[in-house]
Chains A and B, each alone.
Chain A
């Protein structure tokens, strides 16, 4: 035995220190927010991007206390760049997360089992943004180039463009999310969310033209809230989704009320750009389908179309039952809760 451990007092002190360390470790692992005492269930939600209007409904539900009223203490974790959100949800690191619909399919192929519980955009806002002076006439012309196209590699939309129009005439480069490269290069086309980058350019008085990927015949669910299958029982999920859907109704009616809090979390996007983006977002969320079935609701036929597209592209080998990819627990809207195209309750 080492000489220092020979003394009983020293040994007791070391054991005492170890016990104290274990106790403090256990204390730090327990819920520090006191949410359990308040009877609230803690829910960690991982974003797949920085805070922007595309998550507006969630922020509104939290800001207005709807989540607390429903019994949830919500923690929103923003993306720090390239976060593997589907894997984090499947592993239980977070309870829910925003991902692209196709990622549910690709993860399932690799042994993960997620379900979409809420869809943000009924029409995909994904598109390509080019300088107006570049002026291609169609999305096919954008694809054929010449020039450079910054896009997220591995995106099914890009594979679909390749399958439909052949190899791109543009050089494909990574999309880092910053618009600085776009401003610096007049021949650069970039992928965009129509509700995000184009408003930024408009406010900077940079003339741009935007082409929707839906013009190429592909309209996937681009942003869904997903959870592990069985991650929440139906009653709990229903409470959560009711609050989330109400958050979206409020956000669409009055985005300027909620955007300052979102802008404070994302200094890269001005409040003005967020307000403009939120205004443009409505037409992608409020559609005949969502007016009839409720904001966030999904159509199994759209999932079927996605399964077909990804299967044809060779992205997935096994074709799952489309109904198994989503889990919708809310009722259709009533006359009081339906949202009009202007975002106001009907």
Chain B
């Protein structure tokens, strides 16, 4: 119990202190709501618009979750293929690096033309920005496989697939989990940016659309509420990734402690 408290309490105290300071500054200096609303005003606005915000969060969660899963699948597959051959790695790694460099804002309008409006485009946007950390971490894991174990697999004439499945992939899991944690946060950013240009509006508009429409109406309180909710989606993805990592690693790897 005491150990749990020591984990939960510090961030809670810091968050509460920050919120109190924020509330006080806004009240004392009478900062207009359209510049910086107080946390209590944001909470009030979020409660009043809870249905729209929750529907939006569900849409954003679908896009970022879908994009994230795709990114993990593509990143692990591509990382494994590149990790299996120096030649392939030299040829394709710079191309993979391009995904990291691509300014999503610039290509998001193209995604709409290629994939149409809605979930397909926003999922693709989430995938594009989050695939590289998974790919790079998979590649690192593959490269870092114990040479001694590789030799043993060679002595036993293990095939390429068996070597990957039984040695390289398990050895890569700790770094894949680390890369996936980074990708989880990026996926939400990608989804929201994608929604700016391709999300469906209306009653179930995703959080990206809630942000743009609230901005137009000078509803900074709702912008903050939508941003806070998208951060919650990111925390949820991060938490699920960490939980999956713990389940996979708890029996054999120190990082699960």
Chain A residues at the B interface, C-beta cutoff of 8 Å:
82, 84, 86-87, 90-91, 103, 106-107, 109-112, 148, 151-155, 167-168, 171-174, 176, 178, 180-181, 184, 315
Contacts and interface: CB of A to CB of B under 8 A. Distances in A.
A107 B109 contact: no
B34 A107 contact: yes
Contacts of B205: 153
B197 A174 contact: yes
Nearest to A171: B200
Of A111, A155, A168, most buried by chain B (CB within 10 Å of CB) is A111
B117 A148 contact: yes
A151 B216 CA distance: 13
B109 A176 contact: yes
Given A154-B217, A172-B201, A176-B109, A82 B212 contact: yes
Contacts of A87: 34-35, 218, 220
Interface string B41-77: 0000000000000000000000000000000000000
A180 B201 contact: no
Contacts of B202: 167-168, 171-172
Contact of A112 (B195, B199, B218): B218
A200 B179 CA distance: 46
Given A84-B218, A91-B35, 19 more contacts: A82-B196, A87-B34, A106-B218, A106-B219, A110-B32, A110-B33, A110-B220, A111-B34, A148-B117, A153-B201, A153-B205, A155-B216, A168-B202, A173-B198, A173-B199, A173-B201, A174-B209, A176-B112, A180-B113
12 contacts: A87-B218, A103-B216, A106-B218, A107-B34, A110-B34, A111-B32, A154-B214, A172-B201, A172-B202, A173-B198, A178-B109, A315-B217
Nearest to B109: A176
A162 B131 CA distance: 39
Nearest to A86: B218
A232 B198 CA distance: 41
Contact of B197 (A90, A107, A176): A176
A142 to B, nearest CB: 16
A92 B216 CA distance: 18
Interface of B: 32-35, 109, 112-113, 117-118, 195-202, 205, 209, 212-220
Nearest to A153: B213
Nearest to B212: A153
B201 A181 contact: no
Contacts of A110: 32-34, 218-220
A161 B12 CA distance: 45
Nearest to A162: B202
B217 A106 contact: yes
A155 B201 CA distance: 12
B122 to A, nearest CB: 11
A90 B218 CA distance: 11
B35 to A, nearest CB: 7
Contacts of B118: 171, 173
A178 B200 CA distance: 17
A173 B109 contact: no
Q: Across the A-B interface, give the 3 residue pairs with the lowest CB-CB distance, nearest first.
A: A154-B213, A111-B32, A153-B213
Nearest to A150: B117
A193 to B, nearest CB: 16
B217 to A, nearest CB: 5
Nearest to A104: B218
A156 to B, nearest CB: 9
A266 B205 CA distance: 32
Of B32, B198, B199, B218, most buried by chain A (CB within 10 Å of CB) is B218
Nearest to A151: B201
Contacts of A107: 34, 218
Contacts of B199: 173-174
Nearest to A148: B117
A102 to B, nearest CB: 9
A104 to B, nearest CB: 10
Given A171-B202, A180-B109, A154 B216 contact: yes
A84 B215 contact: yes
Contacts of B109: 176, 178, 180-181
A154 B217 CA distance: 7
